[in-house]
Amino acid sequence: MTSRDGTAHFRYGRARSWRLRGRRVSSFLMVDVTVSGIVRAPPSEVFAFLADLENWPRWQGDMQTSTLVEGQPGTIGARYRYVSKAMGQTIDSIVRLVRVDAGREVAFEGEWAGMIRPIG
């Protein structure tokens, strides 16, 4: 996540695999999300709010819950369990903060699994 001129940019990816003609096919789906708005608070407070994933259900529509399960909020190594509902499926996962550059970037990693069912 970077924050310049009041705009936050997020980039995250998801590994997917499915069967096609009896063969397992894997791909990596990268998603870019841009959110902008005016927040009347000091940048350090806004960053601290966004770096703590327990706050994410308050502003990210598909996330239902996010709970700190290990570590200190918003710090490297902190682990969060989150549940989100997107594209007709519920995702229950654990993510870990791997990089925190105060005021500039939060990076996390985790595993997601899902099923794709073709229609037609």
- Pair 95, 79: CB distance under 8 Å: yes
Quick one: fold of 2-110? Alpha-D-Glucose-1,6-Bisphosphate; Chain A, domain 4 (3.30.530)
| Structure confidence by residue, pLDDT tens digits, 82-115 | 898 877 788 888 999 999 888 888 888 887 766 6
Q: Locate the domains of the chain by residue range.
A: 2-110
Supply angle C-alpha 105, 108, 114, rounded to 5: 135
pLDDT at res. 89: 80
pLDDT at res. 2: 42
pLDDT at res. 55: 92
Query: Considering Cα of 39, then 60, then 55, then 70, what sign does the dihedral take?
Result: negative
pLDDT at res. 110: 86
Both tokens assigned to 47 = 């960053």
**What is the model's pTM?**
0.62
Q: E strand or H helix at 113, and its extent?
A: none
- Given a cut of 70, the residues of the chain with pLDDT beneath it are 1-33, 35, 113-120
pLDDT at res. 80: 94
